[in-house]
Chains A and B, each alone.
Chain A
Amino acid sequence: MIEIRDLHKSFTLWNQGGAVIPVMAGAHLTVAPGECVALVGASGAGKSTLMRMIYGNYLAQSGSIRVGGLDVARAEPRQILALRREVLGYVSQFLRVVPRVPTVDVVAEPLLALGADPADARARAQALLARLAIPERLWALSPTTFSGGEQQRVNIARGFVHPYPALLLDEPTASLDAANRDTVLRLIEEAKARGAAIVGIFHDEAARDRVADRVVDVTGFTPQRGAR
């Protein structure tokens, strides 16, 4: 489902004397449907960079990133937009939404973007919010004022509302209590069971051990730091 080959990336900082910072060299990764791969490596080793490249958020210099048949490293913006709508979900650590949009609509939006019936989309969003223990009185409010843990769960609901065939999860259980953490891990297990290919970053080792089938150390993909 996800296949990365010989991926290279460096940042060129034009306003700092054109400094070139290599961040990825020769990265390889294959994730099969129903499989969860956890990325590990020290802070700054490039876990998030690799996830962002898979999502098309960071440009690749060379190599290929195939997700569901599309090479994200070479795709047109509109192909990546379609991929993100239909195939590839992303739960980031940060919630970025238009202020004042009700939580239920924030969560339903991925379904609405796919042309789902608004009533069905909202019903599905409400079911997920309930499962993630977001109190019903908050559903009509914007999540911008929520606590960190609540925002995290809204982000997760948004990432699981559509059954994406591929999912990127950046610290999905950070800042959650035991009950909510368990709910999120169940959601991940269910996604795997329906065949989703998942790449995740989990600092929570117990969570990682529970849902990840394999661990990939990205330190090997970052030559400068790896050589140190």
Chain B
Amino acid sequence: MSGERIFAENSGRSFDERSRAAPLLQVRGLTRRYGARLGCGDVAFDLWPGEVMGIVGESGSGKSTLLNCLAGHLAPDAGQVIFATRDRGPVDTVTMSEPERRMLGRTDWAFVHQNPRDGLRMAVSAGGNVGERLMAVGARNYGAIRASALDWLGRVEIAADRIDDRPLAFSGGMQQRLQIARNLVTGPRLVFMDEPTGGLDVSVQARLLDLLRGLVRRMGLSAIIVTHDLAVVRLLADRLMVMKGGQVVESGLTDQVLDDPQHAYTQLLVSSVLQV
């Protein structure tokens, strides 16, 4: 199965089909404790196809714990993460078998780490990094894999003549774009992102934001983005959840939460930044 074909199927879904569809992800009562301390408590939301949701909060607010519980990297103590699978409909990924969950992580789900080193294989060429994920879902034709890798390097604006270079030789921004290509080549439907623009120069951030927005729209992707940067969610996220002490204190339309925050903590958060 080639990444290109999956991509074509994704982008072929009409707007109407997407807006009428059922939720892609239904989260219910998701809770994770670290001993006596709460990581995230009783989190519930629905994510619909094509929606981008931002999760904001300060360090230690539980946003990364929540993201890792959602993505299956961390086992929650309670709750459900129900994903609308292609073949079996809604399935609780928390109680899914480990091989099934790993398969999901290679196909319909993608995870973009803050540090590209966590999401890339630094000793493997750029082309190999992209091709590897295709091979993990059964692609075997070398020519097709390389063509797909080249196509994706182009989409994330990495020059074709860098295909055989290792990511070690890339700038931080390029590494992050390569990580995105590696993640999206298999045509996932849901992308988890942990501070995807963190640690990048402001100009590089803008380029990455533009790229992500274009990809999300063209592929009809849904995404959950954890960040502490309110300007990033303003431009990228349709909806926003604000976390504090492991709890979601406020959620809603991104611009509404930022412009008319209801909770004391959100008001403090919004008034603390220079301009968003």
Contacts and interface: CB of A to CB of B under 8 A. Distances in A.
A77 B239 contact: yes
A58 interface: yes
A127 B153 CA distance: 33
Interface in A1-26: 11-15
Contacts of A15: 264, 267-268, 271
Contacts of A14: 263-264, 267-268
Nearest to B206: A99
A101 B235 CA distance: 12
Interface of A: 11-15, 52, 56-59, 77-78, 80-82, 96-101, 112-115
Contact of B259 (A57, A101, A113): A57
Interface in B196-212: 203, 206-207, 209-210
A98 B267 contact: no
Contacts of A98: 206, 209-210, 213, 235
Sorted nearest first, the 3 A-B pairs with minimum C-beta distance are A14-B264, A115-B15, A99-B206
A78 B51 contact: yes
Given A57-B259, A98-B206, A81 B253 contact: yes
B255 interface: yes
B68 to A, nearest CB: 24
B238 interface: yes
B262 A59 contact: yes
B268 A78 contact: no
B260 interface: yes
B206 to A, nearest CB: 4
Nearest to B235: A98
A109 to B, nearest CB: 8
Interface string B239-276: 10000000000001101100110111001100100000
A57 B264 contact: no
B97 interface: no
Nearest to A18: B264
Contacts of B267: 13-15
Most chain B CB within a 10 A radius of its CB, from A13, A81, A82, A114: A81
The interface centre, meaning the residue of A11, A77, A81 with most chain B CB atoms within 10 A of its CB, is A77
Nearest to A112: B217
B51 A113 contact: no
Contacts of B234: 96
A114 B15 contact: yes
Given A56-B256, A59-B262, A100 B206 contact: yes
B59 interface: no
Contacts of A100: 203, 206-207, 210
A77 B54 CA distance: 13
B19 interface: yes
Contacts of A12: 262
A191 to B, nearest CB: 23
Nearest to A116: B15
Contact of B252 (A52, A77, A114): A77
A59 B213 CA distance: 26
Interface centre among B14, B203, B206, B234 (most CB of A within 10 A): B206
A81 B14 CA distance: 17
B48 interface: yes
Given A77-B238, A98-B209, A98-B235, A58 B256 contact: yes
B264 A81 contact: no
Contacts of A13: 267
A51 to B, nearest CB: 12
B217 A113 contact: yes
Nearest to B212: A98
B238 A81 contact: yes
Nearest to A142: B206
A155 B48 CA distance: 28
A82 B210 CA distance: 22
Nearest to B14: A115
A9 B153 CA distance: 50
